[in-house]
Amino acid sequence: MKLLHTSDWHVGKTIRGRSRAEEHKTVLAEMADIADNENVDVIIVAGDLFETATPTAESEQIVYKALLDFANTGAQVVVIAGNHDNARRLEAVTPVFHAVGSIHVVTKATRPSEGGTITIETSTGETAKVAMLPFVSKRGIVKAAELWDNEAFENSQKYTDRVTKMMALLANEFDPKTINILVAHTFVHGQALGGGERQAHFVEEYAVTSQSIPTTANYVALGHVHKAQKVSAGSVTHYCGSPLQLDFGDGETDKQVNLVELRVGAPGAVTPRILTSGRRLQTLRGSLAELQAQAQSISDDTWLRVFIDQPNHAGLADQVRQLFGDRLVEVKVTSVNPTVSTKQPRRIGRSARELFAEYLSERNIDDDRLLDAFNDLVEAELDATQHVTPGGDVST
């Protein structure tokens, strides 16, 4: 049996306000082509299809079309809800997917007998048991009274224990004569994050341990972490990561899906397939001259974040925006205001120009044009508020 593992699409996510809808369409189509060309039997989507619990109509269209495209490859499609997904909203469309016959959606923790574990028969005659555990919130496990009375570590341990028991209950349906797969949207303690994860759901209170993973699975497909990585557990366990670089914290890493070869009684054999769709995210740092030297070597399809390491002056950020164009989504001058004196400045007997020059110096802004413009404003104000008498005296 051949399986394709993907997760954490986050359709609807923008990059500093810029839409990434076209990138999502392209990368989801690329995954459907991989599944089709590789004759994949099962496609797993391990949660966080959407970026927000209130997705736009455009985002819903992108996701639902992708799931139908997956089904059209001939594969069985298994989908669970993540912490970003609106479980009720996703559940509302599951009857439509069930009518398709090859798209299986679970939006909340469900007992095996009620659909939490399903049996899939492939066209080649193999049988798979697939256990599905969507994201489980802490409030769904730890009651309000316990949050009030218990120490934090006690509640953390209770969450870990309960989720571990849920996975064990689902895995009880595994059969040594079938291919056994666990799909979960959860954080295994100690794993490295990628970029763009919701930090509140990656503290210890929301973690399970590698010992929580059932040892009877041929493959465990995890979602929630955006960086692809193997988890050291009793079964072959992987995060496949997000299909797009979702934030600059992604570290400019390649993105992938996992192709997994499975057979009864053997651990899954995982082959990463690098995805080529979607724009890369890159961070540049340097002086204006150094950035100018790099500009020609940066692809037009790259989203850029730029840190300018030099004294600020009027229009510096605009110069960088003009240099990189629409690729630039964030620019910061990093050398502004490194140290500001706490001493009360001496003002008596000093001109306004001197005081303004000191203000700029404290903020490491080196721009004579600002001083000249300030001086012009001061002189214009004096001209407007003063007049000279015939005797040469100045009066206000």
Nearest residue to 244 via CA among 2, 1, 13, 5: 13
Asked if 252 and 307 sit in the same domain, the reply is no
Using an 8 Å Cβ cutoff, are 163 and 208 in contact?
Answer: yes
Question: Is pLDDT above 80 for 385?
Answer: no
Count up the domains in the chain and report the number: 2
The secondary structure of the chain in percent helix, strand, coil, rounded to multiples of 5, reads 35, 25, 40
Task: Report the CATH number at residue 208.
Answer: 3.60.21.10
> Lowest-pLDDT range, 45-54, 68-77, 143-152?
143-152
For residue 394, tell me if it sits in a domain: no
Q: What is the pLDDT of residues 175-189, one digit of tens each?
A: 999 999 999 999 999
**Whether residue 181 sits in one domain with residue 86:** yes
Same-domain status, 190 and 227: yes
Are residues 247 and 353 located together in one domain of the fold? no
- Residue indicated by tokens 């002056």: 313
Domain boundary among 274, 293, 316: 274
- pLDDT of amino acid 364: 59
241 and 369 part of one domain: no
259 and 308 in a single domain? The answer is: no
Q: Does residue 396 belong to any structural domain of this protein?
A: no
Residues 6 or more apart whose CB falls under 8 angstroms from that of 151 comprise none
Of 274, 305, 340, the last residue of a domain is 274
Percent of the chain with pLDDT over 90: 63
Task: Identify the weakest region by mean pLDDT among 32-41, 170-179, 189-198.
Answer: 189-198
Which domain-ending residue is among 274, 297, 332? 274
Residue 393 within a domain: no
Which of 286-290, 342-346, 390-394 shows the lowest mean pLDDT across its residues? 390-394
Say if residue 195's pLDDT is above 80: no
CA separation for the pair 177, 112 (Å, rounded): 18
Quick one: 191 and 326 in the same domain? no
pLDDT for res 78: 98
Between 393 and 384, the higher pLDDT residue: 384
Q: Are residues 28 and 129 in the same domain?
A: yes
Q: What is the pLDDT of residue 6?
A: 98
pLDDT digits (tens, 9 = 90+) for 126-136: 999 999 999 99
The two three-digit tokens of residue 302, written as one number: 């790259």
Let me know the angle formed at the C-alpha of 262 by 258 and 188, rounded to the nearest 5 degrees. 50
Q: Is residue 395 part of a domain?
A: no
Which pLDDT does position 261 carry in this prediction? 97
Q: Estimate to the nearest angstrom the gap between the alpha carbon of 368 and the chain centroid.
A: 43
So what's the pLDDT on residue 347? Answer: 60
Per-residue pLDDT for 90 more than 80? yes
Contact 131, 167 (CB under 8 A): yes
Residue 64 falls inside a structural domain: yes
329 class by beta-carbon count within 10 Å (0-12 exposed, 13-18 middle, 19+ buried): middle
**Which residues form the domain of 304?**
280-388
Whether residue 17 is predicted with pLDDT greater than 50 in this model: the reply is yes
Contacts (Cβ under 8 Å, ≥6 apart) of 323: 291, 292, 295
Query: Is there a domain that residue 254 lies in?
Result: yes
- Regarding whether 305 and 166 lie in a shared domain, the answer is no
219 in a structural domain: yes
The predicted structure's pLDDT at residue 134: 96
Same domain for 122 and 106: yes
Question: Predicted confidence band at 144 (pLDDT cuts at 50, 70, 90)?
Answer: very low
Instruction: Say yes or no: 125 and 192 in one domain.
Output: yes
The answer to whether position 52 is within a domain reads yes
Is 12's pLDDT higher than 60? yes
pLDDT digit string, tens, across residues 310-341: 888 888 888 999 999 999 999 988 864 444 44
Highest mean pLDDT among 21-25, 122-126, 338-342: 21-25
Question: How far are the Cα atoms of 50, 58, 241 from residue 258, in angstroms, in the given order?
Answer: 20, 27, 9
Name the average pLDDT for the chain.
Answer: 85
Q: Is the pLDDT of residue 81 over 60?
A: yes
Q: Tokens in use for 113?
A: 């007998």
User: Domain check: are 214 and 235 in the same one?
Assistant: yes
The model's confidence at residue 342, banded by pLDDT at 50, 70 and 90, is very low
